[in-house]
Amino acid sequence: MQLSQKGCEATKWIMTLVSVSSLLFMGGCQEGHGQQAAPVRIPEVATVVVEQQKVQLSTDLPGRTSPHLVAEIRPQVNGIIQKRLFKEGSDVKAGALLYQIDPAPFQAAYDSAKASLAKAQANLPSVQSRASRYKELLADKAVSRQDFDDAAAAMQQAQAEIEFWKAQVEAAHINLGYTRVTAPISGRIGKSTVTDGALVTAYQPLALATIQQLDPIYVDVTQSSAELLRLRRNMETGQLSADRKNGKAVRILLEDGTDYPEEGVLQFADVTVDASTGSFNVRIIVPNPKSLLLPGMFVRAVVQEGIAEQAILVPQQGVSRNAKGEATALIVDEKETVQQRMLTLNRAIGNQWLVASGLCPGDRLVVEGMMNVRPGATVKTVAADMSRINAAASGASCKPVKTN
């Protein structure tokens, strides 16, 4: 009896649990059938309208500076350096005395040549008089023809001797002048390779010093021949037009990326392409009044290519790359549907891409919210805040960190 009573109580307890579970399940079903489904949320994207604009294109070319003029100072006579008359690293003027070579032997040679010239000139009148008298006597047959010929030859020899010693005097004077080693050009002189008392020889391989003219200064850059062909092709097809006002103006960037205050001028482009690199040299002349640019410095030259009359520039954040590395962009059509476009990019200009193909004027380019949409999706568009986008790209939106 006790077992049967306990079994009944257990059965009642199980039935009660089943009833409660059924009621809860039925209530949940009724609640689910009575509730309405939530509406589908349309994603929102920010777009910019693609427009054509006039853009001045330029090319950034690497290069190095070189002096406008270079003069290596070498002696033209043998001798001993008596004195160095300049300060190393200073600016010198053309004609300034740099070295004094001992002039004593050259002065003696000059004086000797002058004395010999004077002797030859003193002998000339008597020889001329004899030749003149013999000519008159020859007419009267008072002297023989042979005597007259000898007198005439002596006069010519005396005249030739005078010309010889004149040349010797001039040569001795030139050599004496070469003992004063002067600056052939104005510029900045470097270190001296000799000191007082050093023996130097004429036209020796080692230069005594080097003068470099730094104002103006040259900037030699290299440009690929492929770029030149592309530029000419764009000019011929009308994609670029020549900038006649600033076509030869060149902006110089220093090694640290800052702008050089003076603007250069394109002087010439070489006519020969280097077979090993496929590039040619371009020379730019740049004012250098404060000697900020020194020979051998690495700089970058921003050379003007021309003007693109109908260029398309889009923010860089509106362009992405697919798995193949191809440039793609999302646009919104007139039905508010997202479409994907394949782009051909020309170059980066600031925080924008110059688009060669793939976009048309009037297209609405998605620049914000791209991660939330896919091609074919319906979206809601709002105008992008370009001032905020540009500020973020240039770093203007960054706030300085306060330090204690």
Confidence of residue 106 (pLDDT cuts 50, 70, 90): very high
Residue 23 has pLDDT above 50, yes or no: no
Which of 146-155, 225-234, 361-370 has the highest average model confidence (pLDDT)? Answer: 361-370
Average pLDDT for the chain = 81
Rg (the chain; Cα; Å) = 47
Which of 18-32, 53-67, 86-100 has the highest average model confidence (pLDDT)? Answer: 86-100
Q: Are 318 and 340 in contact (CB under 8 A)?
A: no
Structure tokens at 107: 């002065």
Contacts of 382 (CB under 8 A, 6+ apart): 44, 45, 46, 47
Contacts of 223 (CB under 8 A, 6+ apart): 59, 61, 269, 279, 280, 282, 303
β-strand partners of 219: 65, 284
Higher pLDDT, 131 or 389: 131
Kindly state the average pLDDT of the residues 372-381: 86
Residue 162 has pLDDT above 80, yes or no: yes
- 25-29, 138-142, 293-297: which range is least confident on average? 25-29
Report the pLDDT value the prediction gives residue 348, as an integer from 0 to 100: 84
Residue 99 has pLDDT above 80, yes or no: yes
Give me the domains of the chain, ranges plus CATH numbers.
52-60+222-393 (2.40.420.20), 103-178 (1.10.287.470)
Supply the angle between the helices 145-178 and 104-139 in degrees, to the nearest 10: 160
Report the pLDDT value the prediction gives residue 377, as an integer from 0 to 100: 87
255: amino acid identity, one letter: E
Kindly state the average pLDDT of the residues 151-161: 87
Alpha helices in 140-239 (DSSP H): 145-178, 225-237
Residue 353 has pLDDT above 60, yes or no: yes
Kindly state the average pLDDT of the residues 115-135: 85
Kindly state the average pLDDT of the residues 143-168: 86
Integer angstrom CA distances of residue 362 from 51, 282, 332, 342: 6, 40, 11, 17
Residue 174 has pLDDT above 90, yes or no: yes
Report the pLDDT value the prediction gives residue 393, as an integer from 0 to 100: 58
Residue 401 has pLDDT above 50, yes or no: no
Report the pLDDT value the prediction gives residue 246, as an integer from 0 to 100: 55
pTM for this one?
0.64
Residue 330 has pLDDT above 80, yes or no: yes
Percent of the chain with pLDDT over 70: 81
* pLDDT digit string, tens, across residues 238-289: 555 555 555 567 889 998 889 999 988 887 777 777 778 878 788 889 999 9
